[in-house]
A and B are shown apart, each in its own frame.
Chain A
Amino acid sequence: MIRIDSVTKRYPDGTVAVDRLSLEIPDRSITVLVGPSGCGKTTTLRMINRMIEPTEGTILIDGKDIMKQPVNTLRRSMGYVIQNAGLFQHRTIIDNIATVPRLLGWSKDKARERARELMGRVGLDGALAKRYPYQLSGGQQQRVGVARALAADPPVLLMDEPFSAVDPVVRKGLQDELLRIQDELGKTIVFVTHDIDEAVKIGTMVAVMRTGGKLAQFAPPAELLSSPADAFVEDFLGADRGIRRLSFFSSAGLDLLTTPIVAVDATAEQIAARTAPDAPYLLVTDLDGKPLGWSEPDALTAGRIDPTRLVSHGRPFVHGKESLRAALDGAVLSPTGWAVAVDTEGRVAGVVSQQTIGEAIRAAHAEGRADAKVAG
């Protein structure tokens, strides 16, 4: 456990970057420091590996004061990942990753072997080993940055806005990858970001900081979204925190309707049988059971349904795996107001109306439960 105990950082000109901050960062989890520019989140992170030294207060790792350890030993026991990766442009990818093991006195072969193993772990093609950083994309460079930080298998990983400089699609990929790696390795990760969505997505615990280096709230993301401590946190979470909170409720409890679904080669009898009074539309699927689109029952010609004349079905959600947020999104995106649930193979599992989703949301709120985070 990393224990930050009433730490203050005051600069000679009187600026207070961090003001009597106390935090207990649990082991084997991702703790996110989030806040606007100038809230002292990066300063806090850098005090953990003594890139910046606190003016007052102590930081303990597993009970040991970090100021009482040799600084380079301390730093080599922590991985550090930064924006733009900060790779050594004059070294090959594999030698970049092998930096800390080499500093720790590993043989060149052993360090490179370890580096190769890590390239696989962070999803980098081994063929890139002998390339130089300029030959890689931003996302790949960032993966190298993560691999380099993990090279000596440090218990602690410090990440300073590591994914801010890449485009949103790559960023999502890197975030998912980080969560996957974390599932495998169980590091104690301290992650700094200014992006509250990123904080909510990857954080086990989220520390919201406000300008002046004060802690505004320290809570799990679901709690943050449901009960922000004050107006600042509420404002920082943004206008749609209610919607975002739905990410924490699983869609598993939704009652799916399986009646109004027909295959694209349906006969007149099938169409008639499938038309239900409580569902004004029929969902047409292809022969594999994958959704094609909605139609009013009367508009369907038995035996030869024209898929191009169907109404869009929005984005289907994976039943049980994705959250109520994904379900609601699907319902809102479709002009019919109905969402399509699919199984993990993409085959239709059922359909559900906005109204039913709304009832599920109310029920979930009433129970006050926040499930372990669900994807999407």
Chain B
Amino acid sequence: MSGFFDIPSDLQNTYWGLVGLHLREALIPVVAGLVIALPIAQLCVRLRWLYPPVLWITTVLYAIPSLAFFVVLIDYTGQTETTVMIPLAVYSLVVFVPAIVDGVRSVPQETLDAATAMGLGPIRRYIQVQLPIAAPAIIAGLRVATVSSISLVSVGMLIGNQGGLGNLLNDGMIYHQPRLIWLSVIGTAVLAILADAVLVVIRLVVTPWMPRGGRKTRPVDEPARPEPAAPALEDAVR
């Protein structure tokens, strides 16, 4: 009798190997998306007129099915992880750009004036004042993007076992083994929940200056963010 976590040999990997692969394929795009979104968002803050069209473009990109992306990308990047990760990075922009723009805009004008008047140049002001104050909003975006990315990676199985835990879905169907499907679905969900928890802890650690929510006086929490359930549903449709 083989172990619960044993998986078919055609995947040429262990279960934990797939978990690692899944995480890498999910998280690298999120980090890349964040790095791309920061300058775009800063441009949108600087040039107000740019924000609506940028938002429109990120939404349209988000609406492109990943399969369509793969078809185009395979010509350039082949059946590789990169082909899976590029669309994921693009999708994350729809969350990051508004999160960062709102976060940076939420810095009070007095605070910016005070920073300028104290002789902080624009770059110092951005790094020392605007970004730290926008951190809670950015981390809120990061949570949504991470969870969504973790659930989306599975689709990579369509281009030849590049879907991390998603590859088990295919195998489960081929070999009629519900166990593999459970391993895939539950594994993905657990990864998403753990990643989200880690980000919550990070937020608590990096923002000791935020009023902590007591039951009596509920202070301003992080700026409104979409319910994680909403993108998850959209992903299910995809």
* Interface residue ranges, A against B (CB under 8 Å): 49, 51, 71-76, 78, 80, 82-92, 99-100, 103, 132-134, 145, 148, 158
A82 touches B110 (CB 8 A): yes
B209 touches A89 (CB 8 A): yes
In the assembled complex, the Cα of A110 lies from the Cα of B105 at a distance in Å of: 33
In the assembled complex, the Cα of A133 lies from the Cα of B119 at a distance in Å of: 21
- A-side contacts of B209, CB under 8 Å: 89-92, 132-134
The 8 closest A-B pairs by CB, nearest first: A86-B110, A86-B114, A80-B117, A72-B119, A75-B119, A76-B119, A132-B209, A90-B132
User: A71 — nearest CB in chain B belongs to which residue?
Assistant: B119
* Interface residue ranges, B against A (CB under 8 Å): 108, 110-121, 129, 132-133, 135, 207-211, 219
User: A85 — nearest CB in chain B belongs to which residue?
Assistant: B110
User: B117 — nearest CB in chain A belongs to which residue?
Assistant: A80
Shortest CB distance B176–A (Å)? 55
A-B contact pairs, 23 of them (CB 8 A): A71-B119, A75-B117, A76-B119, A78-B117, A80-B113, A80-B117, A80-B118, A86-B113, A87-B114, A88-B111, A88-B115, A88-B129, A89-B209, A90-B135, A90-B207, A91-B209, A92-B209, A100-B119, A103-B118, A103-B120, A134-B211, A145-B114, A148-B118
In the assembled complex, the Cα of A92 lies from the Cα of B209 at a distance in Å of: 8
- A-side contacts of B219, CB under 8 Å: 134
Q: Could you list 17 further interchain pairs (A-B, Cβ under 8 angstroms) beyond the known A74-B119, A88-B114?
A: A51-B113, A51-B117, A73-B119, A76-B118, A80-B118, A82-B110, A82-B113, A82-B117, A86-B108, A86-B111, A86-B113, A87-B114, A90-B129, A90-B133, A90-B207, A132-B208, A132-B209
- B-side contacts of A85, CB under 8 Å: 110, 114
- B-side contacts of A74, CB under 8 Å: 119
B114 touches A82 (CB 8 A): yes
Shortest CB distance A265–B (Å)? 52
In the assembled complex, the Cα of A374 lies from the Cα of B108 at a distance in Å of: 39
In the assembled complex, the Cα of A132 lies from the Cα of B212 at a distance in Å of: 12
B113 touches A89 (CB 8 A): no
In the assembled complex, the Cα of A100 lies from the Cα of B114 at a distance in Å of: 11
In the assembled complex, the Cα of A124 lies from the Cα of B210 at a distance in Å of: 22
Most A Cβ at <10 Å: residue of B111, B132, B135: B111
Most A Cβ at <10 Å: residue of B110, B119, B121, B219: B119
B111 touches A87 (CB 8 A): yes
- B-side contacts of A158, CB under 8 Å: 117
A-B Cβ contacts below 8 A, count: 71
- B-side contacts of A84, CB under 8 Å: 108, 110
- B-side contacts of A51, CB under 8 Å: 113, 116-117
In the assembled complex, the Cα of A75 lies from the Cα of B115 at a distance in Å of: 10
In the assembled complex, the Cα of A315 lies from the Cα of B218 at a distance in Å of: 43
Shortest CB distance B204–A (Å)? 14
- B-side contacts of A87, CB under 8 Å: 111, 114
- B-side contacts of A78, CB under 8 Å: 117
Shortest CB distance A160–B (Å)? 8
Shortest CB distance A96–B (Å)? 9
Shortest CB distance B47–A (Å)? 17
- B-side contacts of A73, CB under 8 Å: 119
- A-side contacts of B132, CB under 8 Å: 90
Shortest CB distance B117–A (Å)? 4
B117 touches A89 (CB 8 A): no
- A-side contacts of B119, CB under 8 Å: 71-76, 100, 103
User: A80 — nearest CB in chain B belongs to which residue?
Assistant: B117
A83 touches B116 (CB 8 A): no
- A-side contacts of B121, CB under 8 Å: 72
- A-side contacts of B116, CB under 8 Å: 51, 75
User: B115 — nearest CB in chain A belongs to which residue?
Assistant: A88
In the assembled complex, the Cα of A51 lies from the Cα of B110 at a distance in Å of: 13
In the assembled complex, the Cα of A242 lies from the Cα of B207 at a distance in Å of: 54
- B-side contacts of A100, CB under 8 Å: 118-119
In the assembled complex, the Cα of A80 lies from the Cα of B207 at a distance in Å of: 26
In the assembled complex, the Cα of A83 lies from the Cα of B210 at a distance in Å of: 21
In the assembled complex, the Cα of A92 lies from the Cα of B207 at a distance in Å of: 11
Most B Cβ at <10 Å: residue of A49, A71, A88: A88
Shortest CB distance A26–B (Å)? 22
- B-side contacts of A82, CB under 8 Å: 110, 113-114, 117
Shortest CB distance B42–A (Å)? 18
- A-side contacts of B211, CB under 8 Å: 134
B118 touches A99 (CB 8 A): yes
In the assembled complex, the Cα of A216 lies from the Cα of B170 at a distance in Å of: 83
User: A134 — nearest CB in chain B belongs to which residue?
Assistant: B211
